Chains A and B, each alone.
Chain A
Amino acid sequence: MSPVPHDPLRVEDCDAGGEALALLEGAARTYRSGAVAVEALQPVNLCVRRGDFLAVMGPSGSGKSTLLHVLGCLDRPTAGRYLLDGRDVSALADRELAAVRNATIGFVFQRFHLLADESAVRNVALPLLYAGVGRVERARRAAEALESVGLGPRMAHRPNQMSGGEQQRVALARALVKRPRLLLADEPTGNLDTVSGERVLSLIQAENAQGTAVIMITHDPEVAARAETTLLMRDGRLMAGPRPV
């Protein structure tokens, strides 16, 4: 939890706090195919500080994933700036963006995105491979991360030997193993039953309590209620959402 509650849509607040982790300044994303331009993300201001927990809701096609991809350095804004940890990442080369993703950002997706033929522990170790961590250390840290999501005994299992909830916890362990400062979750409970979803959410909350900023997309108001702040996306525009129930 951030020490002082703030309005993430007010960039000024962010600057005042001096601890902006991710700062979007008029960042926009326009898709062009031929003459047609889709403004998937209208110019948006957003300030995320260490320990923030934001939920983003909104109808399908409103631009939620687009926002998340920009925040996750998977996509570059076509206008505006994106400062991550004080560094302007909107113009970085692909190679540098890869390094930023690897060092700073954890991803969790609705469809888990696990490598089907790899064991849980190898799936979790994947980011460390790209970070250049040695084999033994990779295995050790991956095992540790799996323990922390309660999957210690399932280390050697493959995704198809696990339930959806377990798979999502593996995915979460993979996101957390690199100790990210920003955790981005795109409908992490969208494919899970309530009990499994609950388990994943409490793990995310626990991580947030350690200071990791979390931005989570969801369609479920009850899930959104776990966040500190809920934002609403509509037609590419980001606005304040309903207060937590």
Chain B
Amino acid sequence: MGEGLRHVARHPLRSILTAFTSAIAIAVTVNVISLSFGMQADIAGDVDLFGRRTIDVGVPPALAPGAPVPALGDAEVARMSELLVGLEPIVVPRRQRASPVRAAADTEAVPQRMQLVAAPPAYVETLSIPLAYGRWLVEADDALPAPNACVLDHAAAARLFADPAAAVGAEVELGLDGALRRMRVVGVLADPMRYRELFEIFDEGEGARTLTSSLLSFRNVYVPARTFGGGAYTGVSIVLPDDEAVLEAQARLIRVWADASDLRALSGSSLIVFVRRQWMEALGASTMQGSMLGNIVWLLIVLVAAVMISTLNLITVRERYDEVALRRCEGARRVDIAMQITFEGMTTAVIGGLAGLPIGYFGASVMRSIVGFPFRFELRYAIAATGVAVLLGLLSSVVPARHAAALQPARVLGRRLR
């Protein structure tokens, strides 16, 4: 280490240039790593909130025209509980429908289309999203002749009220079966999404709702089970105690109904069994592809840096022919010379790289504040980036080290320089 630092001190300007090049490369590395890996880690974390251990059984979303709608009633729910005996499942049926909603106090407002979810209190188990304000629905809310309590998800509260915190206690109007129903907001869910904007792309606007957007809990209004309609359920959510139980439950359920991962099932006429975690993993894989581009840019920059640093190192070696020749006279082997040059190169690159870490961190925070992009910085990313700096130092020492090692001392001493 001492030798490497002495080398830096010996050629301050060139070392600064080298270190600067390395710093830029490492800054970009930190940027790309913290953006792409960070985004993935965050998405995985966010997505976990949507029920990692939940299986949904429902009507296929793309029911073929004319195909019979599969029945989903109490008989089916009972069948599920029976199939899953021993797995400690929580089985929660729900009914869902779209409805115009507005804040009762705001009569001017145009009602917004939202999703009403009528479910028993256990439904909260299927979401891993905590409550931000107020409370969740309880049995008593359903006991009234006309239930009038509701819970908003964060997106819904944000749309209806300027301040989601103020929603608790306020009233909303729902359009149900042609009549307006007033419901009192008793709770608001936390916003599970750190990077909601990123997921908004999955939400196809006001009317069109996708399976994805409903899972991601966009603009849902949760109401007691008896709020509307008897008859068929829209879906059943099943919560299991652990990942293993999820797989076992999936295996048992698909003996009777179709597996959602079989794409043909999505338009078939069987109920489909949808494991949320598998969908999340697919989502993770697609963000991985998105970060490929960033990685290519990063790789190119590191390569360019390697070429530049190689050139600088080569110039330094060319100025040190005398030194190299002398060391060889005194007993240095070729490998000693190569190692010395490599070590010196690595020291400078690593020093630059370490300087690049905060630069990259700062750059990424600036980017985040401008474009609101997800970004995460962790110690292991810093370690990875330092590793890249070491590699960069190694890579850019190959040519100079070989050049120095190949030097023939007799020629240098005879002033024939090489």
Cβ 8 A contact of B326, one of A98, A115, A117, A131: A115
Smallest CB gap from A109: residue in B = B413
Cβ 8 A contact of B413, one of A65, A95, A99, A101: A65
B48: Cβ under 8 A from any A Cβ: no
Residues of A within 8 A of B325 (CB): 113
* Interface pair B414/A94, CB less than 8 Å apart: no
Smallest CB gap from B6: residue in A = A117
Cβ 8 A contact of A69, one of B323, B333, B336, B410: B410
Alpha-carbon distance between A117 and B331 when the two chains are bound, in angstroms? 20
Cβ 8 A contact of B410, one of A74, A103, A130: A74
* Interface pair B331/A69, CB less than 8 Å apart: no
Alpha-carbon distance between A75 and B9 when the two chains are bound, in angstroms? 33
B181: Cβ under 8 A from any A Cβ: no
B328: Cβ under 8 A from any A Cβ: yes
- Considering only residues 391-418 of chain B, those with a C-beta below 8 Å from chain A are 408-410, 413-414
Alpha-carbon distance between A102 and B327 when the two chains are bound, in angstroms? 10
Contact A127:B331 (CB < 8 A) given known A74-B409, A117-B6, A117-B10? yes
* Interface pair B333/A174, CB less than 8 Å apart: no
User: Would you give the shortest CB distance from B183 to chain A, in whole angstroms?
Assistant: 81
A42: Cβ under 8 A from any B Cβ: no
The 0/1 profile, CB within 8 Å of A marked 1, for residues 87-98 of chain B is 000000000000
User: Would you give the shortest CB distance from A224 to chain B, in whole angstroms?
Assistant: 21
Residues of A within 8 A of B333 (CB): 94-95, 98-99, 130
Contact A69:B414 (CB < 8 A) given known A74-B329, A130-B332? yes
Residues of B within 8 A of A127 (CB): 330-331
* Interface pair A72/B331, CB less than 8 Å apart: no
Smallest CB gap from A115: residue in B = B323
Residues of B within 8 A of A69 (CB): 410, 413-414
User: Would you give the shortest CB distance from B314 to chain A, in whole angstroms?
Assistant: 20
Alpha-carbon distance between A59 and B53 when the two chains are bound, in angstroms? 92
* Interface pair A99/B410, CB less than 8 Å apart: no
User: Would you give the shortest CB distance from A97 to chain B, in whole angstroms?
Assistant: 9
Alpha-carbon distance between A127 and B6 when the two chains are bound, in angstroms? 19
Smallest CB gap from B336: residue in A = A130
Smallest CB gap from B332: residue in A = A130
A82: Cβ under 8 A from any B Cβ: no
Contact A126:B327 (CB < 8 A) given known A98-B332, A98-B333? yes
* Interface pair B330/A174, CB less than 8 Å apart: yes
Smallest CB gap from A105: residue in B = B329
* Interface pair A101/B330, CB less than 8 Å apart: yes
The CB with the most chain A CB atoms within 10 A, among B10, B327, B335, B336, is that of B327
The 0/1 profile, CB within 8 Å of B marked 1, for residues 59-102 of chain A is 00000011001001011000000000000000000110011011
A107: Cβ under 8 A from any B Cβ: yes
* Interface pair B334/A94, CB less than 8 Å apart: yes
User: Would you give the shortest CB distance from A165 to chain B, in whole angstroms?
Assistant: 19
- Considering only residues 371-409 of chain B, those with a C-beta below 8 Å from chain A are 408-409
Residues of B within 8 A of A95 (CB): 333-335
B76: Cβ under 8 A from any A Cβ: no
User: Would you give the shortest CB distance from A76 to chain B, in whole angstroms?
Assistant: 9
Cβ 8 A contact of A101, one of B10, B331, B414: B331
The CB with the most chain A CB atoms within 10 A, among B322, B332, B410, is that of B410
Alpha-carbon distance between A107 and B331 when the two chains are bound, in angstroms? 11
Residues of A within 8 A of B329 (CB): 72, 74, 101, 107, 113
Alpha-carbon distance between A127 and B332 when the two chains are bound, in angstroms? 8
Contact A74:B330 (CB < 8 A) given known A113-B322, A117-B10, A130-B336? no
User: Would you give the shortest CB distance from B270 to chain A, in whole angstroms?
Assistant: 75
Smallest CB gap from A175: residue in B = B330
Residues of A within 8 A of B327 (CB): 126, 130
Cβ 8 A contact of A74, one of B323, B336, B413: B413
Residues of A within 8 A of B326 (CB): 113, 115, 126
Smallest CB gap from A132: residue in B = B331
- Considering only residues 158-180 of chain A, those with a C-beta below 8 Å from chain B are 174, 178
The 0/1 profile, CB within 8 Å of B marked 1, for residues 172-203 of chain A is 00100010000000100000000000000000
Residues of B within 8 A of A99 (CB): 331, 333
- Considering only residues 203-236 of chain A, those with a C-beta below 8 Å from chain B are none
Residues of B within 8 A of A109 (CB): 413
Alpha-carbon distance between A66 and B411 when the two chains are bound, in angstroms? 9
Alpha-carbon distance between A102 and B336 when the two chains are bound, in angstroms? 13
The CB with the most chain A CB atoms within 10 A, among B328, B329, B335, B413, is that of B329
- Considering only residues 114-160 of chain A, those with a C-beta below 8 Å from chain B are 115, 117-118, 126-127, 130-131
Residues of B within 8 A of A72 (CB): 329
The 0/1 profile, CB within 8 Å of A marked 1, for residues 328-346 of chain B is 1111111110000000000
Contact A98:B413 (CB < 8 A) given known A117-B6, A117-B10, A130-B336? no
Residues of B within 8 A of A65 (CB): 413-414
Alpha-carbon distance between A98 and B330 when the two chains are bound, in angstroms? 8
Residues of B within 8 A of A94 (CB): 333-334
User: Would you give the shortest CB distance from A66 to chain B, in whole angstroms?
Assistant: 7
Smallest CB gap from A107: residue in B = B329
Alpha-carbon distance between A106 and B328 when the two chains are bound, in angstroms? 12
User: Would you give the shortest CB distance from A113 to chain B, in whole angstroms?
Assistant: 4
User: Would you give the shortest CB distance from B13 to chain A, in whole angstroms?
Assistant: 15
Q: Please list 10 pairs of residues, one from A and one from B, whose beta carbons are closer than 8 Å in the complex, sorted by A's number.
A: A72-B329, A74-B409, A74-B413, A75-B408, A95-B334, A98-B328, A101-B331, A117-B6, A130-B333, A178-B330
B interface residues, Cβ below 8 angstroms from A = 6, 9-10, 322-323, 325-336, 408-410, 413-414
Counting from the closest, the 4 A-B pairs by CB-CB distance are A102-B331, A130-B331, A69-B410, A75-B410
